[in-house]
Structure 1
Amino acid sequence: MVARILRISLKAGLVFVLVTVAWVGLYRFVPPPFTWTMMGDVIAERGVTKDWMPLSQMDPDMPRAAIAGEDARFCTHNGFDFRAMAGAAARNAKGGRIRGGSTISQQTAKNAFLFQGGGYLRKAFEAYFTVLIEALWGKRRIMEVYLNIAETGIGTYGANAGALRYFHHDASKLSPTEAGRIAAVLPLPKKRAAIDPRGFVRRHGNTLSRRVGTVRNDGLDACLKG
């Protein structure tokens, strides 16, 4: 009985690995058509607006703003920034607004393959998919997928759709201010807007727009250059 359960578990595990590797491999070349987060907007009858734009066509200040705001060591870590995690844990232990230490790679894995919430089990799967996309996609593709499926507003997905919504032009030509404001929305897209931003979004967006030059000059986006 135990041996039979073991065999079934091993077969199930093998099938899981094969299916997920194939799934991740497919998204290396094909844009993710839909995500669980998008499904939530459909169920809530909010609708979904998305407009895929290859990274090669997107203004380079957009990924620079994302790096400045979300993951300064994106080009140098292997998918996990343990320094950022430790820093976030220390800040959270002091109370106040909870902050995460997730990298862009981890956020991309969650957005592309998983759902929001879910606790430690979801985080475990997130770590698994993060390892896969780092191995099979590489940094440039990770950033490309991230900037096309991350929420940039209620029912709005991707930097290009966000640019069209907020600034009435696509993401091929963004000012540092526009890129910074879109990046400022990313952590809480359902509660923030990049157009006529106020309070934190305005301050943070302006800060990110200034950091865009630092990312460029310090080569923090070097892994994105094709």
Structure 2
Amino acid sequence: MRIIITGASSGLGEALALHYATNENRLVLIARREDRLATVAQRCRDRGSEVETIVADVNDFERMRVIGNYLGEQPIDRIILNAGVSVGHGGGVTPFEDFHRVFKTNFLSVHALLEPIIPKLIEQRFGEIVFISSLASLFSMPTSIAYSSSKRALNAYAEGLHYQLKPYGITIMTIMPGFIDSEMTQKNRFKMPFLLSTDKGIERITHAIERKKIRYAFPFRFSLMIRILTLLPQPLRDKIVHFLNFKKGA
């Protein structure tokens, strides 16, 4: 199975690469940090997997399009779009430069890579595209507007692709994790509800992928709380968000 993973040099991307590193899989790992990517690749090879690395910054859209054309020269079984950034949880107005960077990395880079790949998938009439989104896409807190907005845009993009590509036998999956212990979440300075270990998070993600879950949000209790919150009357919702924001220290 040929599996492509973006953001593979650390965090969830590294853990996903190691999970799929078997002698049955051929991995293509994409990340911008060459030294860390090389380390992850060697660990995957030690587990018996054939590994190709591509050093690239996903924010270089022209390079992403070139890479997309290159990747499409061979059949693609699964592509996991994991690369992402956050500007943290802070008060005040997010500077435009930070907002722009978050949207470039979390959303626009995805289409830059997929634009040349999608016609190849349609031609081969099989394949899976997995989007690593976030529970933050379901409800936007005032301290994470840029991140939540970028992930909600990603959800909408994935939803449209699902309907567009389903007739061609291509499966689109959107995975929406809560807090998972990783390089990104370790920067947070507040108590993260229902925090999962990296191993538990990867177990949930890969299980959802194997079951071809079109939309999968977890942990269940956390996602249920968010969905209930979105159904409450606006005045009550405002009070809850104000309280939670105050507890967070923003």
Q: Verify same fold: TM over 0.5.
A: no
Compare the two structures and name the one with the higher helix fraction: 1
| TM-score normalised by structure 1 residue count | 0.26
| Greater percentage in strand | 2
TM-score after normalising by structure 2: 0.24
Q: Which has the higher contact order (CA 8 A, sep 6+)?
A: 1
